Amino acid sequence: MQLTNSDIADLTKWRQKLHRQPEISNEEEKTALEVVSFLTPTEPDEILTGLGGHGVAAVYDSGKPGPTLLFRSELDALPIEELGNVPHKSEIPGKSHMCGHDGHTAILAALGRVFGRERPASGRVVLMFQPAEETGDGAAGVVADPRYGTILPNFAFSLHNLPGVPFGQVRIRDGVVNCASRGMRIELTGKTAHSSMPETGISPMQAVADLMPALAALGGGRFDEDGFAMVTVTHATMGEAVFGIAPGHAEIRATLRTRLDGRMAALCEQAEALAKGTAERSGLGLKIDYHEIFVASLNAPQAADHLRRAMDDEGIAHDDKDLPMRASEDFGAFGQRAKSAMMFLGAGETYPQLHNPDYDFPDDLIPIGARIFLRAAKNILG
């Protein structure tokens, strides 16, 4: 169960094709079709499409009893203009694969090549190509799809490339690896007035001035403690961009972040109470809604042990430095119904950071990531 040099060349070429034609969250229709086209020659026992949006799941079934293993990658790109000069540079203005999801997808396609030639000795392998990771919609949509029950895994595994970590080394730990987060939108509604008579209106100015620092102050606690919370005000707007009208409307957006989902629920209650009290004092209408909701991503020890054993078998160095991360990752949704684990594969200590406009997934990571996943599958399923 290993890749040939021809496989690696094909996968690299295909990854670069995906890189040239990026699609952002919830728009991954052509990318999903590319995945189906690439995997069809491997003759999976089943291909599910349209999961949670444009998600694709390819199933390789041994026909014998055993666990179901799910390996997950992401299909979506980002609304970022690519500024690098690679030959396979994005051909879509304002959109690019600046997070490496094209590379993660190629790693899963590598597994399809191998399992197409030789099924696991027992159980099933599911390759899950998930949409909309960047917005937090994708994993939640997949697991909510009624068809997900037919491929419900015992174990779920994923990876993400990580610049700043030595090339080919892995970061992994038990427990929390990525924080819960969500975007909170606060809308304040008053009444406009002529700017010469602001007292005849109801302005949100003071409420906005009070709320921004008060929201940020809700955060606290050390990051290595379960009670950690963080609120980052990301956007604020008020009134119209004119001089003759005193404002009657304002909006504040903030990102709420915690290590654990229970702490997130409490943080939301605090933020909502703060916004409500501030609005009432100023005589303003209030509307609150949430966007880009990510649950905490936790590694189950048994699942993480399977990945560590696979890395040891393959001679790949790993440790738990710099984990958990403040950043969020929607893979946590898979862990709510399966033992799951995510690892972080080093892209190089001086490599451009994720979401930088000059980032490009290192193709030499494709066989490394595939080796780890293939070995884990071999160890579990035989």
Residues 48 and 70 in one domain: yes
Residues 104 and 19 in one domain: yes
One-letter amino acid for residue 180 of the chain: A
Residues 161 and 228 in one domain: no
pLDDT tens per residue across span 153-181: 999 999 999 999 999 999 999 999 999 99
Residues 88 and 195 in one domain: no
- End of a domain among 239, 264, 294? 294
Look at the chain and report how many structural domains it folds into. Answer: 2
Pairing of strands 339-348, 170-171: antiparallel
* Rounded Cα distance, 2 and 115, in Å: 10
The whole domain housing 89 covers 5-178+296-381
Amino acid 6: pLDDT = 97
- End of a domain among 294, 326, 354? 294
Residues 222 and 355 in one domain: no
- End of a domain among 264, 294, 324? 294
CATH of the domain at 24: 3.40.630.10
The 3-state DSSP class for residue 290 equals: strand
Residues 164 and 206 in one domain: no
Angle formed at CA 166 by CA 165 and CA 169, multiple of 5 degrees? 90
CATH of the domain at 286: 3.30.70.360
Residues 242 and 285 in one domain: yes
Residues 281 and 311 in one domain: no
CA 311 to chain centre: 23
The helix-helix angle for 365-381 and 5-20 (nearest 10°) equals 120
Residues 273 and 353 in one domain: no
* Nearest CA-CA partner of 112 in 123, 99, 128: 128
Residues 132 and 163 in one domain: yes
Amino acid 366: pLDDT = 98
Residues 29 and 134 in one domain: yes
In this prediction the pTM is 0.94
In which residue ranges of the chain is pLDDT below 50?
Answer: none
Per-residue CA distances from 131 to 62, 224, 261 (Å): 27, 31, 23
Amino acid 79: pLDDT = 98
H/E stretch holding 107? helix 101-117
Can you spell out the DSSP letters for 112-161? Answer: HHHHHHS--SSSEEEEEEES-TTTTHHHHHHHHSGGGGGG--SEEEEEEE
Residues 323 and 289 in one domain: no
In terms of DSSP H, where are the helices of 188-325?
205-216, 261-282, 301-314
pLDDT tens per residue across span 194-206: 999 999 999 999 9
Amino acid 251: pLDDT = 98
